[in-house]
Structures are given as C-alpha cells and as structure tokens.
Chain A
C-alpha cells in the first residue's frame, strides 16, 4: 500500500506561514494527495487535495513536487485556530474510501 511519512510535530508562530511536509515516495500515477486536519475533540475535516499541479483554496495551498514523491501543505498565515493534527493521505484509485490516515503532524501555534 502506498504510504505517507510526516513529521510527528511542528511549531509555528501566529501569523507566520507554515509549511507542512509529506513524503510519499511509493505514490502511483493515479493516486490523489489529500490533506485533512483534526481539531481537538472533533472529527477530521478536509483541507485540500491535488494530483499533479499546485492547488490553492481559501484554507491553504498544496505544493506537489514534480516527481510527486513529496508534497507540502502551506498555511499562509497561521492562526491559533489552525492548531490541529494534519494528515497527508493518498487516495488510491479504485479502492473506494479506505483511507490510510497514518499518525499525522501535530501543529502547535504560539501567540
């Protein structure tokens, strides 16, 4: 199974940009890269996804390496409400929604 590797934790100052890395060296050509985050006492929420090109939405940006073996979630200005566990997931074509979340990166944002 294609797998992702993320740092266990990261720390950022409020209003600074945050770059959350993810390695997925065994990614297949048709696997989508999804990011979810989980705030304390809540279920995960979708952040962003992409296939090959960089993507932007109101929450974040996703930068995908040219060889697709790694990606970076970018929060442009971290706020205290962005403190959460961030999961980088490969959505494997034809596997339905059997998502492998892994342990994620716990992001701490300090004022």
Chain B
C-alpha cells in the first residue's frame, strides 16, 4: 500500500506570492490533517478535513486555507506569503472518524522557503 504522498518536496517562493501544496492520503483514508513545522515553534496543527469538510482548525491566520476532494486528496494554500511561512509542511492521513486510538500516517513533507 502506498504511503502518504506530498508534492512538491521542495518549493521556493518570494514574499507576497501564493502557494498550493498537495497531499494524497493512503488509499481508503478519509481524514487528512496538515501541520507546520519550524525550528522555533515545532509541529503545529493547521487544519483537518474529513469527507471534504473542514473538521478542525488550528490557530493560523486566514491566509492559510485548505480543501479536500471527493477522492480524499487534499490541498493547502497559503496566500500573500511572508518570510515566517518558511517551514516544513506535513500532511497526515488516518482511516476512521474521530477514533482516538487511530494512528496518523505522515508524509515526508513539503519544504517551503520564502525569500
């Protein structure tokens, strides 16, 4: 079974631009969540989607948005990029609805650099 796939692996953008990151979950998984990882703040939760609906949202500005398609693939978008948005963006998928004993499977992430 293929794992969680994130594309692209690396991305370089300039301030003010926007960016779209893609995540393909493990086949059959319906929950996709996104995390931002920086050296200073560690791993922070962005949002989670289940069956095309945003179920949870972290404490990030509205410039960060996402969506999920009917095949469970997800995209996240960051508009008006700032230098502080430079980070590793991780996507995770899981199979069950609100099962607290369910594992998350992470992709390898997209490393975004904003210049």
Contacts and interface: CB of A to CB of B under 8 A. Distances in A.
A96 B50 contact: yes
B105 A98 contact: no
Interface string B59-103: 000000000000000000000000000000010101000101101
Q: Is the interface of B mostly helix, strand, loop or mixed?
A: strand
Given A91-B100, A101-B42, A96 B55 contact: yes
B25 interface: no
Contacts, number: 67
A96 B56 contact: yes
A92 B45 CA distance: 14
A93 B99 CA distance: 8
B103 A46 contact: yes
Contacts of A97: 31, 33, 48, 56, 92, 94, 104
Contacts of A87: 43
Contact of A98 (B45, B94, B103): B45
Contacts of A46: 103-105
Contacts of B103: 46, 49
A36 B48 CA distance: 18
Q: Which 4 A-B pairs have the closest CB atoms?
A: A43-B106, A101-B43, A46-B103, A98-B56
10 contacts: A31-B100, A36-B104, A43-B90, A44-B106, A92-B100, A94-B98, A96-B31, A98-B33, A101-B43, A104-B42
Interface of A: 30-32, 36, 41-46, 49, 51, 87, 91-104
Interface of B: 4, 31, 33, 35, 42-45, 48, 50, 55-58, 90, 92, 94, 98, 100-101, 103-109
